[in-house]
Amino acid sequence: MRIDGLMMDRPLMVISLMEFAAAYHGDCPIITRSVEGPVHRTNYAQTYRRIQKLAHALVALGVKPGDRVATVAWNTWRHMELYYAIAGIGAICHTVNPRLSPEQMAYVINHAEDRFIFLDSTFAGFVPGIKNMVKGVEGFVVMTDAANMPSAVSDENFLVYEDLIAPYPDSFDWPEFNENTAASLCYTSGTTGNPKGVLYSHRALVLHSYCLVAEFKFGPEVVSLPVVPMFHVNAWGIPYAAPMAGAPIVFPGRALDGESLFDLMEEEGVTCSQGVPTVWMGLIAHMRKVGRKPKKLESVVIGGAAPPESMVVAFEEEFGIEVNQGWGMTETAPLGVFNTLRPKHKALPKKQQIDQKLKAGHVVYGVELRITAEDGRVLPNDGKSCGHLQVRGPWVVSSYFKGEEDLLTADGWFDTGDIGNLDADGYLQITDRAKDVIKSGGEWISSVDLENEAMSFPAIAHAAVIGIPHAKWQERPLLVCVPADQNNPPTLEEVNAFLEPRVPKFWLPEAMEIVDSLPLGATGKVQKSVLRERFKTYTLGE
Ligand code: ADP
């Protein structure tokens, strides 16, 4: 029914982002260091034409609205084409994390009931290993051309991406449907039990893009390089936000080491880049080696885990690169908070500015946050009261894909599993994840803060802290660390002498274990569950 005087009710469609970029920013570049090696150059106009060819090819394969089509792929222009073509025809792009074990990969593919899998040639070798476990998959398409088909799969009945799309016209009549239809699907990395699928609606992705453009300050002069993978929460939404802003995009393909990233940033004039702390360790090491930053790089976004202070200081003070932290989850599409300083913060001494930057960020319009106590009481935004972080908003999950249990609180909020506090300006400080928090004599110890302090000790390269049962204090912290020099590891006394002025006395690690490396999950985060398992017979205080 038409109501006089109201705005039009036009659906927010993912494909409209690319349609817009092609029409008005057609020559804006999309650059990829291809999986095969050479740099590939295209633009929004050409990409949109290829998306339309791909849409025809998908329809010809029999893909119907609501069907799931998987990708197992790096950040490349072809992956971006798949994002748009699959969503454009009303199907769902399921981005599979290639770092999963074959069993986990089969689990998510079967759970999603993927009909086709598009994969980069690097991953073609996996297929024989999982094929018997994913019987519902009707076909595999290798994201390359005939000349670059990997020889390892020549006897498999694989389709070649370029041959698949070649015969079709480059215009497609996009269907219009409800904006609350799913466009993509991503499973959480499973640090907490079986992976769970989050479906992103067209509406959520478009609204999230408006937010990202505003917060990341995207525009035609901002050249971004998302290191965060397109298989992890849609590369934080950058492949949708960049076209909305007519912003150039540089995809790193599979080479994510410090030197490769540095060279690509240097050659393509990248001005900002986004990734988890682990990748920045590599870039910082390389910048130190060559004694400078990539010449146009102005800022980096760090999210997915808290960056140690030493990392923020290295970027900001050693290399003059601005750091913006962000917090989010697979369940929040992911942007929940973003850290930019206000004028009053910029007037503070540098050390206090860095302290402010170590907070996860401030509330963004569209995501409501609250901190609750164990009994559900909402705690004040006083920058001190710590509790369970709960969120709500148009790009926050309401239930998991095929999930039967109620996910939200009785009053409709999503409990993130994170512990933190909010201040009066809406800045969030994450102190821990609910299951990682250490309770010593009834008091909370933040494992995140403790490990970050430990990592600022020069003799420690990487560290994690877990709780160990203790006869008197219930739990005490165990510091598991990778020394900077394996032949000369620090002692617990040396570490604690360093930590003593920096943390409350009862936080000081009770014990320390030296390891060669820490177990990292599929998205580069330390798997504390693996460490807890490894040290489960450890007891203290007997
Ligand atoms: P998973 O929950 O499977 O690890 P996600 O990638 O969705 O996968 O991770 C979301 C979690 O990552 C958050 O709940 C939080 O614990 C952590 N996280 C994300 N950003 C930050 C940040 N800036 N500071 C601290 N923790 C963060």
Could you give the domains of the chain?
15-29+42-203 (3.40.50.12780), 438-534 (3.30.300.30)
Q: Which atom of ligand 1 is nearest to the CA of 330?
A: 7
Q: Mutation test of ligand 1: which of 327, 388, 407 has the most ligand atoms closer than 8 Å to its C-beta?
A: 327
Residue 475 catalytic? no
Q: How far does CA 1 lie from the centroid of its chain?
A: 41
Given the residues 179, 331, 475, 510, the one annotated as active site:
331
Contact indicator for 287, 67 with CB cutoff of 8 Å: no
Protein residue with least CA distance to atom 10, ligand 1: 329
Question: What pLDDT is recorded for position 155?
Answer: 59
Six-digit token string for 122: 């690097």
Share of residues in the chain with pLDDT > 70 (%): 97
Q: Which atom of ligand 1 is nearest to the CA of 192?
A: 3
Given the residues 64, 131, 350, 439, the one annotated as active site:
439
| Residue 208 or 435, more confident | 208
Residue 439 catalytic? yes
Question: What pLDDT is recorded for position 1?
Answer: 62
For residue 83, the surrounding DSSP H or E stretch is helix 77-88
pTM score of the predicted model = 0.88
pLDDT above 70 for 381: yes
CA 442 to ligand 1 center in whole angstroms: 25
How far CA 1 is from CA of 9, 157, 407, in Å, comes to 11, 52, 34
Handedness of CA 498, 502, 508, 509 (dihedral sign): negative
Residue 167 CB neighbours (<10 A): 10
Mean pLDDT of the chain: 93
CA 91 to ligand 1 center in whole angstroms: 28
pLDDT above 70 for 168: yes
* pLDDT (mean) for 503-522: 90
pLDDT above 70 for 287: yes
Q: Which atom of ligand 1 is nearest to the CA of 523?
A: 6
Largest CA distance in the chain: 77
Given the residues 71, 95, 181, 188, the one annotated as active site:
188
Question: What pLDDT is recorded for position 51?
Answer: 99
Given the residues 298, 340, 409, 444, the one annotated as active site:
444
The single residue listed with the structure tokens 């079709």 is 168
pLDDT above 80 for 76: yes
pLDDT above 80 for 191: no
pLDDT tens-digit map of 210-249: 999 999 999 999 999 999 999 999 999 999 999 999 999 9
Residue 188 catalytic? yes
Residue 95 catalytic? no
pLDDT tens-digit map of 90-140: 999 999 999 887 888 999 999 999 999 999 999 988 888 898 999 999 999
Of the pLDDT bands very low, low, confident and very high (cuts 50, 70, 90), residue 470 is: confident
pLDDT above 60 for 360: yes
d(CA 147, CA 276): 34
CA 94 to ligand 1 center in whole angstroms: 20
Q: Which of 58-72, 198-212, 294-308 has the lowest mean pLDDT?
A: 294-308
DSSP code string of 207-257: HHHHHHHHHHT--TT--EEE-S-TTSGGGGGHHHHHHHHT--EEE-BT--S
pLDDT above 80 for 430: yes
How far CA 212 is from CA of 138, 216, 326, 334, 452, in Å, comes to 36, 6, 11, 10, 28
Protein residue with least CA distance to atom 9, ligand 1: 329
Of the pLDDT bands very low, low, confident and very high (cuts 50, 70, 90), residue 449 is: confident
Question: What pLDDT is recorded for position 190?
Answer: 52
Give the pocket of ligand 1 (CB within 6 Å).
188-189, 191, 303-306, 325, 327-330, 360, 416-418, 430, 433, 523, 525
Q: How far does CA 111 lie from the centroid of its chain?
A: 22
CA 444 to ligand 1 center in whole angstroms: 19
